[in-house]
Structure 1
Amino acid sequence: MPHPFRAALVAALLCPAPLAAQDNPLVESSAWEELKALVPRGDTAVENAEVLLLDAPPRAVDPAFVPVHLTQPLGAPPIRALTVVIDENPAPVAAEITLGPAMLPLDMELRLRVNAYSNVRAIATTDKASVLAGRFVKASGGCAAPASKDLQALMAEMGRMRFQILSSEPEGTGMRHTAKLMLRHPNTTGFQRDQVTLLNIPAHFVDLLEVRQGDELLFRMTAGISISEDPVFQFRFLDNGADRITVHAEDTDGNVFDESFPLTGL
């Protein structure tokens, strides 16, 4: 079923300004007590706002498109990988992300599906400790929410990408860019229903995304069903002098998508 308000909503979610701090801290979660031993570093991670922050709205406007903003304060110790977990989702691990040095200190936003009132958290490791950051988000039905438009229309555009530099600023002797990457993909979850047949639509989602600046890795993400339809990633990275950004993506049906974007003339 189409959702006419989503065009304006998506535009708002993709605003380059960071999310404002919210008064929605993590809450006690029996689901997390069961999960944390299964999530890398989950059973030893403690909240530390001097190392990692996560912002998300206290109440989702659209549970299928919840913006989550991961940042590190200036001077924070480097993190090389993190795991994003939504406690109450059917598949709680939303993404595992490996970070290249040009992505640090981390400043990255992604859009997630949130299926029920839940903590949304990120777990990461520095050289010295495991850290955790998160927010409690009030949402319902994100994994079963119908597509924003006809599934055949989504499939026809599948794999198309767009990369945009939103802003650039000097850092040391180089430049740090804020960029946005958009990938067209239905990212169905297996919990959505065909509005005509009323049968469940099979899960079909991007499960691998790799972004490089020249030969250098910016980030690599392995993902599950909790990444939104038509995934969008906004992130900051330090320019290493390479002239191209390359993107490689794979989905659960075996489709492979590759694209390259120029960085010259910035």
Structure 2
Amino acid sequence: MKILPLAICLAVLAGVPLTGASASEPANMEPERQERWNQIAQYLFGDRKVEPTETLIKLDAPKRAQDAALVPITLTMPEKNEIKSVYLVIDDNPAPFAAKFTFGPAADAGSVQLRVRVDTYTNVHAVAETKDGKLFETAAFVKASGGCSAPVAASDEKAMAGMGEMRMKFREDATAGKPVEATLMIRHPNFNGMQKNPITQYFTPPRYINKMSVSSGNAKVFDLEADISLSTNPVITFSFVPNGKEPLKVVASDTKDGHWEQGFDIPAAMN
């Protein structure tokens, strides 16, 4: 799977404005936005056809973000047993590719929630890949500005304190033999290279989580590939089928070779 680094993104989108939309934006930007999406889809998926859908994947995003650095996104897959993986693409972010979830046998792939940075008014696309290799997409328009350059904390050192610490919260009404909803919280500044250190005023070098794996015992729940759009201190909500009494294990790594692992015991009532 091709991930769009910043330099390649700018080349892919050459000739297409990356500035934010505003009240002065032309009334009909849809042709330009469609052309931008076509270019991104061709880069990510090559000649594979990406068909629109209203049933295989649904995308819930705020029409206007309250905080452009913490935009909540929910991906829902009503026909979850047909889904192999899902992609999240933020068309007008400096690097449009945001995340890819690849589900394993322990996943309940009905929905995934996460938080992302949105840099400007943009279409957000969700693409579902079915188990037979077909691609289906849906989109939502989000009004936001400045999410990628928003400062993380009072200083880089403070932002990096406790980096890699994890917490897991299980939904309390889960019952044995049923899929369990869990929310993972991992501490990480996810510097993307566009934020300035508030003290030195120099740009902070990029360092962000780019890989994550969650397993229930020896059964994979999902693998995550991510890029610069994942929010600071990522929060991801997902569902899984417990593998007996085995703990839920999370492995995460970042672009500076940071590596963290942690196991979480599943409450007995959920086994």
CA deviations over 1:176-197 (Å, ceiling 9, x no partner):
1111000000101100011122
How far apart in 1 are the matches of 2:150 and 2:253?
Answer: 23
How far apart in 2 are the matches of 1:33 and 1:255?
Answer: 35
Identify the range of structure 1 (211-220 vs 149-158) with the bigger mean alpha-carbon deviation. 149-158
Q: Runs of 4+ in structure 1 displaced over 6 angstroms?
A: none
- Tell me how far 1:50 sits from its aligned partner: 1.4
The answer to whether the aligner puts 1:116 opposite 2:120 as a matched pair is yes
On the 8 A contact 1:57/1:137 being kept in 2, the answer is yes
Equivalent AA in structure 2 for residue 211 of structure 1: V
On the 8 A contact 1:91/1:224 being kept in 2, the answer is yes
CA deviations over 1:34-56 (Å, ceiling 9, x no partner):
21101137852222121111100
Q: Structure 2 residue aligned with 1:185, among 188, 197, 208?
A: 188
Q: Structure 2 residue aligned with 1:258, among 255, 258, 261?
A: 261
Q: Structure 2 residue aligned with 1:225, among 224, 228, 243?
A: 228
How far apart in 1 are the matches of 2:189 and 2:114?
Answer: 16
Q: Structure 2 residue aligned with 1:195, among 171, 194, 198?
A: 198
| Residue equivalent to 1:13 | none
How many residues are paired up?
Answer: 238
TM-score, structure 2 normalization: 0.82
Equivalent AA in structure 2 for residue 101 of structure 1: P
SS at match of 2:39: helix
| Residue equivalent to 1:100 | 104
How far apart in 1 are the matches of 2:108 and 2:84?
Answer: 9
How far apart in 2 are the matches of 1:226 and 1:92?
Answer: 8
Equivalent residues in 2 for 1:1-266 (5 A)?
A: 27-28=30-31, 29=33, 30-40=35-45, 44-73=49-78, 75=79, 77-126=81-130, 127=132, 129-170=134-175, 174-266=177-269
On the 8 A contact 1:163/1:181 being kept in 2, the answer is yes
Gaps of 5+ in 2: 1-28
Aligned-pair RMSD on alpha carbons? Answer: 2.0
How far apart in 1 are the matches of 2:225 and 2:80?
Answer: 25
- Tell me how far 1:134 sits from its aligned partner: 2.0
Equivalent AA in structure 2 for residue 32 of structure 1: W
On the 8 A contact 1:80/1:99 being kept in 2, the answer is yes
How far apart in 2 are the matches of 1:155 and 1:58?
Answer: 31
| Residue equivalent to 1:22 | none
Equivalent AA in structure 1 for residue 61 of structure 2: A
How far apart in 1 are the matches of 2:47 and 2:202?
Answer: 36
Identify the range of structure 1 (248-257 vs 235-244) with the bigger mean alpha-carbon deviation. 235-244
TM-score, structure 1 normalization: 0.83
How far apart in 2 are the matches of 1:215 and 1:85?
Answer: 30
CA deviations over 1:116-174 (Å, ceiling 9, x no partner):
1111111122126311122110011111001144321221110100011023445xx81
How far apart in 1 are the matches of 2:236 and 2:69?
Answer: 15
CA deviations over 1:55-105 (Å, ceiling 9, x no partner):
0000111111000001112x4552111221110011110112211133234
How far apart in 2 are the matches of 1:40 and 1:167?
Answer: 39
On the 8 A contact 1:159/1:257 being kept in 2, the answer is yes
Q: What fraction of aligned residue pairs are identical, expressed as a percent?
A: 36
On the 8 A contact 1:41/1:130 being kept in 2, the answer is no
